[in-house]
């Protein structure tokens, strides 16, 4: 297993990405979609985690148009301030186009079996949902996605399997929003939703304030099984 920084050719220019490869040199691919902190150590560790489970994992730098190479932490108010400022200026539509470029890049990577999924957290959770409606991803997973309730008009475009992990006590996705998401996707056989009753936003961010190992392990196990089923 090895990780390195690479360059991906996107629709509006080249951007950086971190990619981790499985030791076998063969497997499915997965695009790991960042939180609001950029492609930081947490995101890189998620890529390494997938590589250890036999997948090629690529995390694109989605903030490159605003500021290339952002690697913030969740440990200081200053970094939180920068992260929120970037998120507010971020163009979601262009971000999805960059993820499509990342999916295409992975599909052409030596050793990738042709199947590529997407998994995102927070801001990336919303983007993972949009990947299911706008890209050719083979399977999408969103962790505590923010603003999915405002994207439900695209639900009829879902063509491939989707799994959403919802934190019931998520302060960025209040109960009313969660209800809209669950109701809006109810009856869609392609969508699986898991709710984690006592969990706050970012319960799976290792080292974070709301990290909960038991729930994170449960969600990650479900994600791993989901990708094994749909990506091979």
- The CB density around residue 71, as the number of other CB atoms within 10 Å, is 16
**pLDDT (tens digit, 0 to 9) for every residue of the chain, 232 residues total?**
579 999 999 999 999 999 999 999 999 999 999 999 999 999 999 999 999 999 999 999 999 999 999 999 999 999 999 999 999 999 999 999 999 999 999 999 999 999 999 999 999 999 999 999 999 999 999 999 999 999 999 999 999 999 999 999 999 999 999 999 999 999 999 999 999 999 999 999 999 999 999 999 999 999 999 999 999 9
Number of domains in the chain: 1
- Would you state the pLDDT for residue 19? 98
What would the two tokens of residue 144 be?
Answer: 């505590």
Q: Assign residue 205 the CATH number of its domain.
A: 3.40.50.1820
By annotation, the residues acting in catalysis are 170, 201
Q: Are 120 and 109 in contact (CB under 8 A)?
A: no
- Would you state the pLDDT for residue 192? 98
Q: What is the 3-state secondary structure (H, E, C) of the chain?
A: CEEEEEEEEECCEEEEEEEEECCCCCEEEEEEECCCCECCHHHHHHHHHHHHCCCEEEEECCCCCCCCCCECCCCCHHHHHHHHHHHHHCCHHHHHHHHHHHHHHHHCCCCEEEEEEEEEECHHHHHHHHHHHHCCCCCEEEECCCCHHHHHHHHHHCCCCEEEEEECCCCCCCHHHHHHHHHHHCCCCCEEEEEECCCCCCCCCCCCCCCCHHHHHHHHHHHHHHHHHHHC
Cβ-Cβ contacts under 8 Å for 37 (sequence gap 6 or more): 43, 70, 71, 72, 73, 74, 79, 83
In angstroms, rounded to a whole number, what is the distance separating the alpha carbons of residues 11 and 229? 31
- Would you state the pLDDT for residue 122? 96
Q: Which domain covers residue 73, as residue numbers? A: 2-231
- Would you state the pLDDT for residue 1? 59
């Amino acid at each position: 297993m090895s990780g390195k920084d690479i360059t991906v050719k996107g629709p509006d220019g080249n951007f950086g990405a971190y990619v981790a490869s499985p030791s076998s040199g063969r497997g499915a691919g997965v695009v790991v979609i960042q939180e609001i902190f950029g492609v930081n150590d947490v995101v890189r560790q998620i890529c390494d985690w997938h590589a250890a489970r036999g997948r090629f994992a690529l995390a694109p730098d989605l903030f490159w148009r605003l500021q290339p190479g952002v690697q913030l932490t969740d440990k200081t108010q200053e970094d939180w301030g920068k992260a929120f400022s970037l998120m507010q200026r971020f163009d979601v539509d262009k971000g999805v186009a960059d993820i499509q470029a990342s999916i295409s890049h992975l599909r052409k990577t030596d050793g990738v079996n042709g199947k590529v999924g997407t998994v995102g957290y927070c801001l990336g959770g919303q983007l993972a949902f949009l990947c299911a409606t706008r890209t050719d991803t083979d399977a999408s997973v969103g962790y505590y996605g923010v603003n999915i309730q405002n994207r439900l008009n695209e639900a009829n475009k879902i063509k491939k399997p989707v799994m959403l992990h919802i934190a019931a006590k998520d302060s960025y996705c209040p109960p009313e929003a969660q209800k809209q998401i669950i109701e809006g996707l109810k009856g869609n056989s392609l969508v699986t939703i898991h709710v984690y009753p006592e969990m706050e936003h970012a319960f799976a961010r290792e080292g974070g304030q709301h990290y909960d190992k038991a729930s994170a392990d449960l969600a990650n196990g479900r994600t791993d099984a989901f990708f094994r089923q749909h990506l091979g």
